[in-house]
Amino acid sequence: MFDQLTKLKEKAVREIKNSKVLKELHNLEVKYLGRKGELTKLLRQVKDLAAEEKPKFGQLGNEIKEELNQLISEIKFELNKKEKAGSSKEKWLDVTLPGRKFIKGHLHPNSLIQYQLEDVFSRMGFIILEGPELESEYYNFEALNIPPTHPARDMQDTFFIKDKTGWVMRTHTSNMQVRTIEKYQAPLRAVFPGRCFRYEATDVSHDTTFYQLEGLMIDKDISIDNLIAVMKVLLKEVLKREVKIRLRPGYFPFVEPGFELDVNCLICGGKGCPVCKHSGWVEMVPCGLVHPNVLKYGGLDPKEWSGFAFGLGLTRLVMMKYGIDDIRLLQSGDLRFLQQF
Ligand code: FA5
Nearest atom of ligand 1 to the alpha carbon of 290:
11
Would you mind telling me the total number of residues written for the chain in this entry? 341
Separation of 295 CA from ligand 1 center, angstroms?
21
Does the beta carbon of 198 lie inside 6 Å of ligand 1?
yes
Does the beta carbon of 210 lie inside 6 Å of ligand 1?
yes
Average pLDDT over residues 274-286: 90
CB 319 within 8 A of CB 206: no
Residue 215: half-sphere exposure toward Cβ, Cα within 13 Å: 27
H or E, element range at 170: none
Strands (E), 82-124: none
Does the beta carbon of 170 lie inside 6 Å of ligand 1?
no
Q: Is residue 186 pLDDT above 70, yes or no?
A: yes
The predicted structure's pLDDT at residue 202:
95
Does the beta carbon of 326 lie inside 6 Å of ligand 1?
no
Nearest atom of ligand 1 to the alpha carbon of 156:
13
The CATH code that applies to domain 109-338 is 3.30.930.10
Does the beta carbon of 311 lie inside 6 Å of ligand 1?
yes
Determine which residue's CA is closest to atom 19 belonging to ligand 1. 313
Region at 241 (left for phi over 0; alpha for psi -120 to 50; beta for the rest) = beta
Mean pLDDT of the chain: 91
Nearest atom of ligand 1 to the alpha carbon of 311:
7
Burial class (CB within 10 angstroms; exposed 0-12, middle 13-18, buried 19+) of 12? buried
pLDDT tens for 54-77 read 888 888 888 999 999 999 999 999
Does the beta carbon of 316 lie inside 6 Å of ligand 1?
yes
Indicate the top mutation candidate among 316, 317, 318, 329 to test ligand 1's pocket, ranked by most ligand atoms within 8 A of CB: 316
pLDDT tens for 106-143 read 999 999 999 999 999 999 999 999 999 999 999 999 99
Does the beta carbon of 19 lie inside 6 Å of ligand 1?
no
Q: Is residue 85 pLDDT above 80, yes or no?
A: no
Does the beta carbon of 109 lie inside 6 Å of ligand 1?
no
Separation of 313 CA from ligand 1 center, angstroms?
6
Average pLDDT over residues 165-183: 97
Question: Could you tell me what percent of the chain has a pLDDT over 90?
Answer: 63
Average pLDDT over residues 216-230: 94
Separation of 312 CA from ligand 1 center, angstroms?
7
The predicted structure's pLDDT at residue 89:
59
The predicted structure's pLDDT at residue 91:
66
- C-alpha to C-alpha distance for 307 and 226, rounded to whole angstroms: 9
Query: Helix, strand, or coil here: 81?
Result: helix
Separation of 144 CA from ligand 1 center, angstroms?
14
H or E, element range at 215: strand 209-219
Does the beta carbon of 288 lie inside 6 Å of ligand 1?
yes
Q: Is residue 224 pLDDT above 70, yes or no?
A: yes
pTM: 0.72
Number of other residues whose CB lies within 10 A of the CB of residue 332:
13
Does the beta carbon of 283 lie inside 6 Å of ligand 1?
yes
- C-alpha to C-alpha distance for 93 and 87, rounded to whole angstroms: 12
Nearest atom of ligand 1 to the alpha carbon of 200:
30
- C-alpha to C-alpha distance for 101 and 13, rounded to whole angstroms: 56
No. of H helices and E strands in the chain? 11, 9
